[in-house]
């Protein structure tokens, strides 16, 4: 994977909503290999750090300690990234995707229990190839994948979502 292939979006792919305010902070989302990464940067601060970590809003409340324990025992830090420049952060992410460490971190991340009362979407729509739109489950423990559809509009229509 190359850094220019990573597509960042301001719309939260798990809820389908844009953030209410981006004042003093920037938050974008990237869907890579079934993991949604949240890319953050604080505007107008003395800290120029860009960071990327997995989407955590839909996890069960007791899971955060388990994830922190996994990160402390894993030598590379799993699937959490940080860099001074945005371009270098995307390059760092692109180099990590598909490696053994990434696969181990992704598998651990996917095995964490989700909050079953979380009000977000059940599926998020991603493009896996030309005219190949798939619905990936937000909770991989409960749902199966659906697709492919010929267009994003057809995928949202089949899932009963409002067409963006």
CA 30 to chain centre: 5
Q: Which of 127, 137, 107 is nearest to 14 (CA)?
A: 137
Whether 82 and 136 map to the same domain: the answer is: no
Whether 57 and 102 map to the same domain: the answer is: yes
- Domain residues for 130? 123-159
Whether 138 and 97 map to the same domain: the answer is: no
Q: Which of 73, 71, 70 is nearest to 82 (CA)?
A: 71
C-alpha R_g of the chain: 16
Q: What confidence tens digit (pLDDT) does each residue in 48-101 have? A: 788 899 888 888 878 888 887 777 777 666 688 888 888 888 999 999 888 888
Q: What is the 3-state secondary structure (H, E, C) of 76-109?
A: CCCCCEEECCHHHHHHHHHHHCCCHHHHHHHHHH
Q: Is residue 116 part of a domain?
A: no
pLDDT at 152: 87
Whether 44 and 94 map to the same domain: the answer is: yes
Q: Is residue 164 part of a domain?
A: no
Whether 14 and 83 map to the same domain: the answer is: yes
Instruction: Judge whether residue 164 has pLDDT over 60.
Output: no
Q: Is residue 155 part of a domain?
A: yes
What gap in Å lies between CA 9 and CA 29, rounded to an integer?
5
Q: Is residue 150 part of a domain?
A: yes
Whether 43 and 73 map to the same domain: the answer is: yes
Whether 90 and 135 map to the same domain: the answer is: no
Q: Is residue 118 part of a domain?
A: no
pTM given for the model: 0.78
Q: Which of 31, 10, 12 is nearest to 133 (CA)?
A: 31
Whether 102 and 145 map to the same domain: the answer is: no
Whether 82 and 152 map to the same domain: the answer is: no
Whether 130 and 82 map to the same domain: the answer is: no
- Mean pLDDT (whole number) for 133-146: 82
CB-count exposure of residue 139 (10 Å: 0-12, 13-18, 19+): middle
Q: What confidence tens digit (pLDDT) does each residue in 35-47 have? A: 889 998 877 666 7
pLDDT at 23: 67
Q: Which of 143, 153, 149 is nearest to 122 (CA)?
A: 143
The set of residues, in sequence order, having a beta carbon less than 8 Å from that of 143 and lying 6+ positions away, is 122, 123, 137
The count of structural domains within the chain is 2
Whether 14 and 53 map to the same domain: the answer is: yes
Tell me if 141 sits within 8 A of 122, measured CB to CB.
Answer: no
Comparing 78 with 6, the larger pLDDT belongs to: 6
Whether 10 and 80 map to the same domain: the answer is: yes
């Amino acid at each position: 994977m190359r850094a220019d292939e990573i597509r960042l979006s301001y719309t939260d792919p798990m809820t389908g909503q844009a953030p209410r305010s981006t004042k003093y902070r920037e938050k974008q989302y990237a869907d890579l290999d079934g993991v949604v990464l949240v890319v953050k940067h604080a505007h107008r601060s003395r800290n120029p750090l860009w960071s990327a970590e997995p989407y955590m809003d839909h996890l069960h409340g007791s899971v955060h300690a388990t994830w922190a324990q996994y990160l402390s025992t894993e030598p590379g830090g799993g699937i959490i990234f940080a860099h001074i420049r945005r371009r270098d952060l995307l390059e760092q992410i692109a180099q990590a995707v598909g490696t053994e460490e990434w696969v181990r971190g992704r598998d651990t991340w996917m095995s964490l229990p989700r909050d079953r009362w979380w009000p977000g979407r059940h599926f998020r729509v991603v493009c896996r190839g030309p005219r190949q739109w798939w619905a990936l489950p937000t909770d991989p423990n409960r749902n199966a994948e659906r697709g492919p559809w010929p267009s994003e509009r057809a995928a949202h229509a089949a899932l009963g979502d409002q067409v963006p």
